[in-house]
């Protein structure tokens, strides 16, 4: 088995068994053998003479060839004491303290076992509503989200993952505006992704510019009328600001759900691709379609190897169905409904790699046609595989309450999930996303080594435009656009996520959704320059095209990102110009702040203080601000962090004109900016900031509401 260096790092850090000292106690090959043997044992439940060794070998070959991988909990836990193999859970929250805190307990157990949880808070009475048992007032859904968020903070998922939650509220709940803005402050509800459950009625009222009723879920009575447009505008504003909330088209989900007689679906898993009934879980897996190509003898190019893909789909469905039987979920209620419906979700990864091999641009009609063809084939083959299993093992127990009229082993068979860590292990592009960047910098002991997309390097060599200089430029900029030395058709083929107009992102999601039982994980990545109208357009287009939900993320819309420009922070020139401002700081004495500029704008701050102040601390603050500015963090973001800080020594001294030393530094920076007459660089474009992984310092990107490192697998949601 050939694994990339990054794949081995991810496996060692997150997946391999470890001894008491934290040293890996198994090899990657042993991990896949462990998983294959554990999952194959389920065959004995249906045939006491089953050849489990043969089945385990099939599963082992499937995984070690890196053509299929199951979701992370299966890789981590199969064949081990925990044996909790599901990634996705949804828990109900009813309108009582008993239900709410039972859900908190259940959530803790799920997170401890390695799963993520989704909730609908739509049944909870609104803030200020009457509580008859105490003659008090209800605190509302957002307050109980905070309880779960806090509980999640203290539970580490199986020792390997941080808890992730999805919070959903119906658009007609009286507290909807508070919910939409609950993550407005940076860092609030950091363990939650949030989405608004938008109904068909709401979308129609939005189109017709009409009001909707806000309904108290306790009484089912209308309590207020509000313009649909007013709610929608707040959703758009918040999504433009920081990527949340997303939208879940809840009626679309229920119109196509397979077991309507069992109740309505109200929520999804944390990344939105798996709608589930209360207490339901689902097991996911992804096929690496980058490996599904074969030489076309007529054209000499590559085409999809449909026969190979069909064989892998059938084996993968067998694998995922087995997972249900060997899985040990943390709650009996979850086991009952999971085994009653036997939902599985087979999806893909490596789609961008496949398109490049087929010479098909992502943002093209041919790209959309390829997406539909791939997913339609997987859907058909997965359904056939599920029917074949039903003939041998029986249909899922709740089939009489489903939409199926013929035997079927699994209520659902397809889901397009995010594949952050899995795609690193498989060394392919993530899920159905386009490339986020075409290169990254691998840090070595004595130098930074540029690593460029292997398909781009191969094409460059084949077409004769390869040079070390071009590859270094690509590594530094992460793009081939507007590069005269790269042919136009290659530029079109290698557009990155932020270089693709949002309608193509949405159309691609819709193309996959047409042939997917559950939902599709896809981030609609927008450049920093995107407008609120762009966000609005993406939301409306997603609804029109039949998507079940949508998440947008405007680049650099969150301050929490650690930002860096290109390969390294911009270098300091030998000569710069600036100003020094003197402040009297309470009892600390005189504070001197020097602010310098280079050709791109303010990039350096020196801070010196005397008296009873702390010179080392002041110097450190100046150095950190300088590093931030040279690394591409925008000045207004820096100023926002240091303005308004109060110091008792300053505010109690009548001669001091600033609130604190940080406030003085911000004043000095603003004075320099006013002197130059602009908040933007005077010469040339601002270096493009990128998110940097706190573990391996590689470039990160946004994937379904989480910053994800494509090199080491670090993610803020795990």
Residues marked as catalytic: 269, 271, 273
Burial of 588: CB neighbours in 10 Å, binned 0-12, 13-18, 19+: buried
If we measure between CA atoms, which residue out of 512, 532, 254 comes closest to residue 370? 512
Ramachandran quadrant class, 704 (left: phi over 0; alpha: psi -120 to 50; beta: rest) = left
Angle between helices 532-544 and 228-242 (to 10 degrees): 110
Residue from 629, 679, 639 nearest 662 by CA: 639
416: which strand partners?
520
User: In the structure encoding, which two tokens stand for residue 421, read together?
Assistant: 């860590």
* Number of neighbouring beta carbons within 10 Å of residue 219: 11
CA dist list (Å): 39 to 45, 79, 281, 347: 12, 8, 17, 19
Phi then psi dihedrals of residue 192, to 5 deg = -120, 135
Residues 420, 702: Cα–Cα separation, whole Å: 10
Q: Give the C-alpha separation, 188 to 242, whole Å.
A: 12
Contact between residue 288 and residue 349 where contact means Cβ atoms under 8 Å apart: yes
| Sign of the alpha-carbon dihedral angle for 571, 572, 575, 578 | positive
Task: List alpha helices for 209-350, DSSP H.
Answer: 228-242, 250-255, 306-326, 332-341
Nearest of 238, 249, 267, 242 to residue 198 by alpha carbon: 249
**Cα–Cα distance, 525 to 527 (Å, whole number):** 7
Phi, psi of 213, deg, nearest 5 = -85, 135
Contacts of 642-648 with C-beta under 8 Å, sequence gap 24+, read 642/666, 647/585, 647/586
The rounded distance, in Å, linking the Cα atoms of 495 and 481 is 7
Q: How far apart are CA 492 and CA 308, in angstroms?
A: 29
End-to-end CA, the chain: 27
Do the beta carbons of residue 490 and residue 431 sit within 8 Å?
no
Question: Which tokens go with 594?
Answer: 């020097």
Q: Are 284 and 88 in contact (CB under 8 A)?
A: yes
Helical ranges in 485-529 per DSSP H: 488-493, 502-513
Do 65 and 84 form a contact (C-beta atoms < 8 A)? no
């Amino acid at each position: 088995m050939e694994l990339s260096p990054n794949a081995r790092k991810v496996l060692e850090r997150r997946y391999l068994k470890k001894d008491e000292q934290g040293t890996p106690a198994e090899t990657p090959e042993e991990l896949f053998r462990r998983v294959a043997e554990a999952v194959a044992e389920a065959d004995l439940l249906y045939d006491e003479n089953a050849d489990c060794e043969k089945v385990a070998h099939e599963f082992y070959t499937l995984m070690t060839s890196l053509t299929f991988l199951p979701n992370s909990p299966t890789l981590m836990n199969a064949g081990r004491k925990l044996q909790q193999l599901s990634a996705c859970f949804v828990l109900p929250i009813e309108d009582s303290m008993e239900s709410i805190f039972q859900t908190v307990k259940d959530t803790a157990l799920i997170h401890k076992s390695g799963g993520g949880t989704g909730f609908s808070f739509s049944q909870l009475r609104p803030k200020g509503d009457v509580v008859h048992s105490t003659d008090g007032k209800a605190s509302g859904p957002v307050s109980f989200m905070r309880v779960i968020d806090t509980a999640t903070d203290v539970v580490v998922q199986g020792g390997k993952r941080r808890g992730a939650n999805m919070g959903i509220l119906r658009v007609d709940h009286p507290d909807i505006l508070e919910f939409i803005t609950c993550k407005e402050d940076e860092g609030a509800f950091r363990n939650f992704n949030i989405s608004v459950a938008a109904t068909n009625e709401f979308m129609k009222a939005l189109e017709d510019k009409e009001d909707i009723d806000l309904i108290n879920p306790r009484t089912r009575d209308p309590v207020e009328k509000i313009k649909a447009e007013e709610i929608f505008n707040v959703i758009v504003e918040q999504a433009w600001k920081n990527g949340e909330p997303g939208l879940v088209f809840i009626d679309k989900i229920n119109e196509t759900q397979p077991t309507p007689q069992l109740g309505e679906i109200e929520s999804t898993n944390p990344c939105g691709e798996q709608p589930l009934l209360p207490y339901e879980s689902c097991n996911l897996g992804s096929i690496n379609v980058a490996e599904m190509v074969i030489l076309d003898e007529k054209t000499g190019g590559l085409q999809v190897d449909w026969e190979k893909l069909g064989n892998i789909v059938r084996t993968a469905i067998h694998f995922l169905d087995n997972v249900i039987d060997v899985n040990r979920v943390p709650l009996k209620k979850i086991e009952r409904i999971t085994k009653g419906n036997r939902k599985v979700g087979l999806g893909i990864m490596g789609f961008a790699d496949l398109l490049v091999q087929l010479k098909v641009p992502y943002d093209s009609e041919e790209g959309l046609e390829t997406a539909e063809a791939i997913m339609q084939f997987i859907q058909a083959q997965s359904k056939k595989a599920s029917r074949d299993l039903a003939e041998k093992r029986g249909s899922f127990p709740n089939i009489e309450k489903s939409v199926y009229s013929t035997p079927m082993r699994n209520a659902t068979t397809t889901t397009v999930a995010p594949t952050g860590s899995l795609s690193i292990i498989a060394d392919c592009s993530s899920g159905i996303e386009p490339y986020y960047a075409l290169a990254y910098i691998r840090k070595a002991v004595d130098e930074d080594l540029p690593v460029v997309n292997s398909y781009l390097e191969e094409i460059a060599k084949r077409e004769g435009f390869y040079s070390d200089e071009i590859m270094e430029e690509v590594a530094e900029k992460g793009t081939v656009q507007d590069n005269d030395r790269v042919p136009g058709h290659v530029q079109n083929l290698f557009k990155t996520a932020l270089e693709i107009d949002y309608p193509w992102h949405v159309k691609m999601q819709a193309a996959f959704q047409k042939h997917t039982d559950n939902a599709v994980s896809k981030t609609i990545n927008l450049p920093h320059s995107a407008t609120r109208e762009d966000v609005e357009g993406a939301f409306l287009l997603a609804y029109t095209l039949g998507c079940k939900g949508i998440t947008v993320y405007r680049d650099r819309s969150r301050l929490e990102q650690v930002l860096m420009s290109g390969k390294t922070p911009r270098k300091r020139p030998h000569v710069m110009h600036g100003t020094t401002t003197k402040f009297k700081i309470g009892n600390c004495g005189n504070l001197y702040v020097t602010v310098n500029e280079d050709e791109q704008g303010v990039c350096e701050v020196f801070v010196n203080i005397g008296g009873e102040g702390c010179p080392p601390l002041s110097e450190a603050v100046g150095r950190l601000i300088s590093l931030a500015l040279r690394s591409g963090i925008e000045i207004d973001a820096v100023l926002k962090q240091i303005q308004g800080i109060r110091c008792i020594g300053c505010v109690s001294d009548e001669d001091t004109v600033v609130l604190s030393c940080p406030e003085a530094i911000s004043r000095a920076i603003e004075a320099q900016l006013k002197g130059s007459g602009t908040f933007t660089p005077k010469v040339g474009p601002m270096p493009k900031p990128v998110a940097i992984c706190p573990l391996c310092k590689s470039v990160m990107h946004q994937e379904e509401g989480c910053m994800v490192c494509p090199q080491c697998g670090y993610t803020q949601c795990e």
